[in-house]
Amino acid sequence: MLNDRSSILSLLETRRSAKPRELIGPGPTPAELERMLAIAARTPDHGKLTPWRFVTVADDQRDAFAALLQDALAEEDPGATGAHRQKEQDFAHYAGQLVVLVSAPVRGHKIPLWEQELSCGAAGMNLLLAAHALGYVAGWVTGWRAYSERVRSAFCAPGERIAGFIFIGHAGREIDDRPRPPLSDIVRQWRPRAE
């Protein structure tokens, strides 16, 4: 069973995202969303720089988000097909709550940028865990939109960038697991080099 919330460990062992396009509503209540974001903010962060932001997009702002994506697509790919334009329209209206995760590093700081970006990724993971712990299913995607300057500047201050679009809703169909790497592929015992 995936997303088994019967214990903390079972949730950690079975957590599974859904594809945002397959989510159904409703998204979290305002109180639940606030709780998720507070949990997400409880993330390792070297130097207490909070190098991440969460930008929420309300349901009644989805048309404006769609218009932004259409403008950005026209800029990125003037020859975009009708099917691609429709895909962006659909993306902007995926069910559930949309949270845009923003990487907001403090540039020129003694804490390396890399560590600040790692913290942002951890905040995204924490948001997924919080959403799943509260009985929702989330999905984290990027795609060309995350790298479009027009979209970036609509969500981010200068120097910030989009780390992901995280949709939080409910699974619209039974979700399957994806292959997970065998530990033998990713874990090894350190062996000091012989001098």
Ligand X SMILES: Cc1cc2nc3c(=O)[nH]c(=O)nc-3n(C[C@H](O)[C@H](O)[C@H](O)COP(=O)(O)O)c2cc1C
Please state, in angstroms and as integers, the Cα–Cα distance from residue 70 to each residue in 56, 66, 118, 151, 171, following that order: 20, 6, 31, 10, 27
Sorted by sequence, the CB contacts under 8 Å of residue 126 that are 6+ apart come out as 39, 40, 41, 42, 43
Output 30 or 77, the one with its CB closest to ligand X. 77
Minimum CB separation of residue 17 from ligand X in Å reads 3
Minimum CB separation of residue 191 from ligand X in Å reads 30
Binding residues vs ligand X (CB under 6 A) = 16-17, 139-143, 164, 178
Output 25 or 143, the one with its CB closest to ligand X. 143
Minimum CB separation of residue 110 from ligand X in Å reads 26
Nearest of 133, 105, 89 to residue 49 by alpha carbon: 105
Minimum CB separation of residue 178 from ligand X in Å reads 6
Minimum CB separation of residue 112 from ligand X in Å reads 19
Q: Report how far residue 180's alpha carbon sits from residue 177's, in angstroms, rounded to the nearest whole number.
A: 9
Output 179 or 192, the one with its CB closest to ligand X. 179
Half-sphere exposure of 125 (CA within 13 A, CB side): 10
CA angle 77, 83, 89 (to 5 degrees): 85
CB-based closest residue to ligand X: 17
Output 114 or 190, the one with its CB closest to ligand X. 114
Output 178 or 188, the one with its CB closest to ligand X. 178
